[in-house]
Structure 1
Amino acid sequence: MLQGHALDLRTDLTPLFIAHPALAERFVRLRDRLDTSHDAEDAAALMLQPGQDTPAVAADRDDTAAAFTDLLTEIRGREGFGSFLLPAPPEELTREASAGPIVVFNISRYRSDALVVTAEGVADVELQDLDIKTLGERIETFEDALATARLSPDRRERTRAEGVLCEVLEWLWDTAAQPVLRHLGHDRAPQAGERWPRIWWAPGGLLGMLPLHAAGYHRREGAGQSVLDRVVSSYTPTVRALGYARSRRTLLPPEHSLIVAMPVTPGIRGSLDNVLREAELLARRLPEPVVLIEREGVEDADTPTRDEVVARLATAEIAHFCCHGTSHPSDPSRSQLFLHDHRERPFTVSSLTTARLHHAQLAYLSACETMRNRVADLADEGIHLASAFQLAGYPHVIATLWPINDAIAVDVADAFYAGLEGRRKTIDLSRSATALHDAVTRVRDGFRRRASPSLWAAYTHTGV
């Protein structure tokens, strides 16, 4: 039952929210009512004999279940949604784990487990020290410390806040990441010359609000007690989403790229001082770059408007955005990257629905909160800009979990693209996850940065 719930019923609602938002909202509302009715059943069971329900609980549960079944039928009748919420066959699960294990988490108030999918099958790793109440408290602690580390004018307060972030990452290692890596036999850092193992995290729920890829004891230099020191991490909303991403990839080197740079943004105070440097560096690294740059007081053919960006995406294998971005506080499908005309024509998750991105291979979102969902009720659905770009056809998406330092963003981006360079200076996109891993490790191990995870732990790779 546990595996059926976590693997078969886990779904990425991004496609539904984009194509049929009203149906998606009804789905979430009815699903949450079903969850509530089960909680009511549990309460009733404490007072009644087994098999008995209060009439009100039973009637509400039956009505909600019937409405939910009718809604599933309606959704599956829409084009492209015929298999919505249907179980993935076992062979599909194991096939997608052929390149490395996929770890699906199921956290509840009853128990917590990591379901580890490998080419051999599915194993259940019970996470005895992880409970949903403590997880919620740790997330709140992490986000409060993150805000202080980024915004406080007091250096001592920032240092203390970074220490709190490190403590949460250590707790995340002890309770969630280390038990999984121990089960898989990843109990040490790979030796020089050894192939680094890959792992795909499908955290879902509240756990997806913390950086699993950065869990560990980073203040202990050389200890190797961290995810970053043992495996190369990627994320996927679901097993099927990973399969879709793999179906879109190509082994051919990219021939065209798009760089969108917003050093200033109309209607937003302040500037991103290092964006121009980032764009200039990447224009020298990327193939046949088209560079759209916002220039204050100027609007011309190179201005990054929504329509111009969408049109240029159609011919570029690589799309790199260096700009402001945000996750919407109540509607994740309205999360956006801020372009020139963001007030009139916002470049949101739903903006990608009509784009014909037949060449798409890599989207690098060097912006704030591009893999963040701030709506707790929708945390299990993976609705954010990173998943939208993956759904639009990008097998590789680089994104961030929180606002990033734009000076360090340049270092990470430059090191990332340098890590993609193969023989004869061609770009090998199959190295995307490894290149990001190496770039982040390099920044982390820089001068006094190991104890400052706010600077380097936000970067994520989603996809193949």
Structure 2
Amino acid sequence: MLEAAVRLLPEVAPRQLARGDQQYALGGFAGLAGDAAALALADRRRTNQECAARALQLLETGRAVLLSQALDTRSDLTDLHEQYPELAARFVELRDQLDQPETSAPAVVPIDNPDTLHEGQDRLIQDRHRLTRDIAATLAAIRTQDAFASFGLPPTTEELLTQADQGSVVVFNISDYRNDALLLTKTGVTAVPLPGLGYTTLIDRINIFRQALYTAGAGANGALRREAQATLSRTLEWLWDVATEPVLTALGHHRQPSPEVIWPRVWWAPGGLLGLLPLHAAGYHTDPVDAPQRRTVLDRVISSYTPTVRALRHTRQRNPAPPSPAHALIVAMPTTPHLPNEGRLDHVPAEVEKLHHHLPDPVLLREPDPDRDPADLSATLPTKNNVLALLPMCPIAHFACHGDSHPTDPSESLLLLHDHDTDPLTVASLAPVQLGQAQLAYLSACRTAAIDAAELLDEAIHLTSAFQLAGFLHVIGTLWEIDDQIAVTVADAFYTHLTTDEGALDVSRAPHALHVAVQAVRDRFPRTPSLWAAYLHAGV
């Protein structure tokens, strides 16, 4: 019964609904996929490996439903354009129309005809229904052609398992029934029970962690802030004991790799509640630095994140060629209009200076001083429209600004640019963006990988995933508020390790570069995890 319900989840939030309505519909079924996967793992009629594969398919179906819908229509169109150009053109036209944000009905209603508003809304709904029918018919037509039978369809279990070729993928499942990690490796998929990771205990730990984060930054005195950091450290140690250590042991990562070898990689797909904690930072960070079996994730593997295995597969199938000449975009907000104290970030200028040293021929959009008239600087103001116009030409984009996660609607989470109060750069505004040459987005801002709407945790709707969907192979995000000065240190070290011996940037080094940058700050401040544990890499 639960399995059938999970497979119907995409029908609960069909594409013809507005995004907000889709989120509302899915929010009513939070945790359904996790419960179904837990029961599948307990099925005594199947082998352990069969149970694990079935649970994986259920989680892939029932998590990140909106993201999966977007991926359905973002398959590689190169072959389709070459063999069936008319079908490809029709598909792209319908997809782009359906991806556009919902426009509202007229805000000004004629006083003598109040029905105009309702007529406009009805017309918008009818248009979305028509577009959905048309794109379904076009997809059906494409799938009748030779070699295109699986176009836009979810990958099979066998196709998902190929994603372990470059490193293990770990998919967590937390439910009231049981708690497990599904391990995708070159030999198949297996389940590791996690009995110490109780559902209620996890919720309690998350609440304690989040309160400690707040106190660590805003505590009334040094003693309170130090105790908050100790609480954060204890939570990371607990997370190691109950979640990451059993996984790494099962994968055979028992000790720190030697410096001369290529470090193993692990992709974490936390799903749900575990996405609120930094799996990549779990461990005992006060262990002796020279201990070969130092008990931390940071000292065993290089971590990356993915919402689902399917999302990782989609990103890997892209192979963007950088434009020539290649540019980097820097968006800098040392101050932000309409925030208290102008939202000052005193160390953004230093970050920009470091970026100019590292990035090739950068294009800079920078907020001017508040007392300066920006009227003659419209082309270089960091507005949403200017950013979106430049992204297609800039395979690398670095944002140094404020970020915010919306408490109830994650699609409204945003980067605070010059026009954030009138035309914000939100998750929703990035949904229609498709960049063919994007490689690296570095979001040096607060909470760009955070979700606050509990009922939508499975959907992984945040700025980091939005930039991934837009086309970036690598995205650097953050789970909570970051320190302005430490942000300069991390960014500088990141781009230093991204640079080859010949002086060129190699974005494929992004996971390693962030790992080394965060590890260095951790080694300086092992008892202050709020400063370094927020940073994460998402992507290939």
- Per the normalisation by structure 2, the TM-score is 0.73
* Residue aligning to 2:258: 191
After superposing the two structures, state which structure 1 stretch, 293-302 or 280-289, moved more: 293-302
Q: 8 Å contact 1:420–1:431 — kept in the other structure?
A: yes
Aligned match for 1:413, one of 491, 500, 505: 491
Matched, 1:152 2:219: yes
Provide the aligned length of Structure 1 versus Structure 2.
Answer: 425
1:148 and 1:456, CA in 2 relative to 1: closer, same or farther beyond 3 A? same
* Residue aligning to 1:463: 539
1:326 and 1:12, CA in 2 relative to 1: closer, same or farther beyond 3 A? farther
Q: 8 Å contact 2:30–2:458 — kept in the other structure?
A: no
Q: 8 Å contact 1:398–1:462 — kept in the other structure?
A: yes
Matches of 2:35 and 2:497, distance apart in 1: 51
Aligned match for 1:241, one of 311, 326, 329: 311
Matched, 1:259 2:257: no
Matches of 2:474 and 2:10, distance apart in 1: 17
- Structure 1 residue 16: deviation in Å? 7.9
- Structure 1 residue 426: deviation in Å? 0.6
Matches of 2:396 and 2:484, distance apart in 1: 20
CA displacement 1:3-28 (0-9 Å, x = unmatched): x89xx979999x98999415523541
Counterparts of 1:261-300 in structure 2 under 5 Å? 261-270=332-341, 271-295=344-368, 296=370, 297-299=372-374, 300=377
* Residue aligning to 1:171: 238
Aligned match for 1:213, one of 256, 267, 280: 280
Matches of 1:12 and 1:418, distance apart in 2: 43
* Residue aligning to 1:343: 421
* Residue aligning to 2:402: 324
Q: 8 Å contact 1:272–1:406 — kept in the other structure?
A: yes
Counterparts of 1:101-140 in structure 2 under 5 Å? 101-140=168-207
Matches of 2:308 and 2:417, distance apart in 1: 30
CA displacement 1:37-85 (0-9 Å, x = unmatched): 99xxxxxxxxxxxxxxxxxxxxxxxxxxxxx9xxx9x998684899999
1:425 and 1:339, CA in 2 relative to 1: closer, same or farther beyond 3 A? same
* Residue aligning to 1:60: none
SS at 1:425's partner residue?
coil
2:365 partner amino acid: L
Matches of 1:425 and 1:37, distance apart in 2: 50
After superposing the two structures, state which structure 1 stretch, 295-304 or 138-147, moved more: 295-304
Q: Percent identity?
A: 50
Q: 8 Å contact 1:11–1:381 — kept in the other structure?
A: no
Residue segments in structure 1 that go unaligned for 5+ positions in a row? 39-67
SS at 2:519's partner residue?
helix
1:391 and 1:34, CA in 2 relative to 1: closer, same or farther beyond 3 A? closer
CA displacement 1:127-172 (0-9 Å, x = unmatched): 0111110000000000000000011141111111000000000000
Matches of 2:133 and 2:182, distance apart in 1: 31
- Per the normalisation by structure 1, the TM-score is 0.85
Q: 8 Å contact 2:27–2:455 — kept in the other structure?
A: no
Matches of 1:35 and 1:432, distance apart in 2: 32
Q: Which has the higher helix share?
A: 2
CA displacement 1:271-296 (0-9 Å, x = unmatched): 10000110111012101100111012
1:22 and 1:334, CA in 2 relative to 1: closer, same or farther beyond 3 A? closer
Matches of 2:297 and 2:35, distance apart in 1: 38
SS at 2:514's partner residue?
helix
Matches of 2:205 and 2:488, distance apart in 1: 30
Q: 8 Å contact 2:320–2:438 — kept in the other structure?
A: no
- Structure 1 residue 328: deviation in Å? 0.2
Residue segments in structure 2 that go unaligned for 5+ positions in a row? 37-64, 70-128, 141-149
SS at 1:99's partner residue?
coil
Q: 8 Å contact 2:413–2:462 — kept in the other structure?
A: yes
SS at 1:314's partner residue?
helix
Q: Computing the radius of gyration over CA atoms, which structure comes out larger, 1 or 2?
A: 2
Backbone CA RMSD of aligned residues: 3.2
SS at 1:279's partner residue?
helix
2:539 partner amino acid: G
* Residue aligning to 2:23: 25
1:118 and 1:273, CA in 2 relative to 1: closer, same or farther beyond 3 A? same
SS at 2:182's partner residue?
strand
Aligned match for 1:229, one of 299, 303, 321: 299
Matches of 1:454 and 1:37, distance apart in 2: 32
Matches of 1:33 and 1:215, distance apart in 2: 24
Matched, 1:91 2:164: no
CA displacement 1:300-336 (0-9 Å, x = unmatched): 1211011111111120000000000000000000000
After superposing the two structures, state which structure 1 stretch, 359-368 or 349-358, moved more: 349-358
1:28 partner amino acid: L
